[in-house]
Amino acid sequence: MIVRARPWNWLRADWPDFVYDEAAVSAGLAQAYRLHGVMEGKAAALGFTGASDVALDSMADEVLTTAAIEGERLSLDAVRSSVMRRMGLEASGPIDRAVDGLVAVVHDATTAAGTPLDEDRLCRWQSALFPGGTSGLQRIAVGRYRSHEDPMQIISGLPGREVVHYEAPPSADVPGHMARFIGWFNDTAPGGTSSASLDGLARAAIAHLWFESIHPFEDGNGRIGRALVDMAVAQHLSTPARLFSLSRQLLERRADYYDQLNRCQRGGMDVTGWVQWFIQQCAAAYSAASTTMDEALVKRRFAEQHGVAGLPERQRKVLQRLLDDGDGGFVGGLNAEKYMKMTGASKATATRDLAEMVKRGQLRTTGAGKALRYYVNVPGWTHGVTMDECSSAP
């Protein structure tokens, strides 16, 4: 077994007095806050609320991706159904207790961000992630800190050739480490007792690193650590609705995310590099959310202009799919055969439906005969086809 260079951060004499260079992160913070302001401004102008499709999609995406970071694939239908029920909306999708538990944790972290953190809350979060008391087929301790005597290690590699990337503090020391962490988290929250000047996003970055370094539970530490980020960011920005998914951004940078954490867990208490990287991911998440809002506005305008709500269900389904796939996202364009597969319609019905949607201006076409293709008619969308190739009728 190969053990990476020590000491681990918790073995240092100055643990856990994390510091960062405020001047070095100032430009990144300014950019992140600018993008956050753009995102919130769009949300306000478009009337997006906590019950909007954007908020629902953002929360569902956060749940899906925070699990995906750990290599767990959840059912989108089960996640969306659970999110809708949690938001007080009617839902008829499948029910999965583990999904419901993760949704409850993510929801509680943001909607009850003003409630002080304590050990009981963290343990309830972890218990909710494992309603059967198992992780896969293995029984684990749920609803309490780990207590096993074996080292808590993060390992990769084949048996006999494992690489130890990190080793957390012994289980016996976890309660003491967590008491100090929880005290710091509450003291540095808005309205807390700490007099130290600490930017909110930097605080979220440090909270995540600190919690992951302790690794207090047998399993679920990553998901709970990211829920703590959600809570810290919600406390700082007071965002009324979830409009972005930070876990989506972390999933896209998954390898770098783990490398950044691992580097700090073996380094000193100056975590400027980690804070800078974390702030960059926040900025990217805000920018992605703004793009999503732009896309939502396009769909809304299209639906209002073309009376989509009054169309037959099969036509609504196809138009929604084309809009969801975006400009050029529906590779190869739509034809009668694809329409038949998507809706179950006969060839005669498919041909008639497509002609009707072209006549109403909802679709435009290119080519002829077997090469005839249909594209959703959104201003500015080219689908990789020049306007000279397009016509308004088949």
pLDDT digits 0-9 by tens, 32-48: 999 999 999 888 877 77
pLDDT score of 3: 53
Mean pLDDT, residues 265-285: 96
pLDDT score of 258: 95
* Domains of the chain, CATH where assigned: 2-295 (1.10.3290.10), 308-391 (1.10.10.10)
pLDDT of 207 over the 70 cut:
yes
pLDDT score of 120: 98
**pLDDT: which is higher, 139 or 389:** 139
Q: What is the pTM of this model?
A: 0.84
pLDDT score of 322: 94
**Beta strand 2-3 pairing with 163-167:** parallel
Residue 1 pLDDT level (bands cut at 50, 70, 90):
low
- Mind listing the pLDDT tens digit for each residue in 293-312? 888 888 888 999 999 989 99
The strand order across the sheet containing 363-366 reads: 373-376, 363-366, 390-391
pLDDT score of 324: 86
Mean pLDDT, residues 316-323: 93
- Mind listing the pLDDT tens digit for each residue in 16-26? 999 999 999 99
pLDDT score of 393: 45
- Mind listing the pLDDT tens digit for each residue in 60-85? 999 999 999 999 999 999 999 999 99
